[in-house]
Amino acid sequence: MLYPSIDELTAKAESKYILVTVASKRARQLRENSELQVVRPKSKKFVGQALEEFISDELVHEFLDGRK
């Protein structure tokens, strides 16, 4: 079983698109030597670590509606 599960992740995010965007941006930051906010991550890959931060509420996003 994968951690975190897709059901838990989609419950926290408004949409799958937002989840993918936030995780990819954070994974890029981690790849460029940003400090990890989870103490002992289960995943060795940057995307998995970003998702672990998201599920543990260490990674939050702000939704700005740019439509006018």
Going by the DSSP 8-state scheme, the letter that residue 35 receives in this structure is P
Q: What is the pTM of this model?
A: 0.81
Is 5 or 30 the better-scoring residue by pLDDT?
Answer: 30
Locate the domains of the chain by residue range.
Answer: 6-56
User: Going by C-beta distance under 8 Å and a sequence separation of 6 or more, which residues neighbour residue 33?
Assistant: none
- Give 16-60 pLDDT, tens digit per residue: 888 899 999 999 999 999 888 888 888 899 999 999 999 888 877
* pLDDT of 67 higher than 70: no
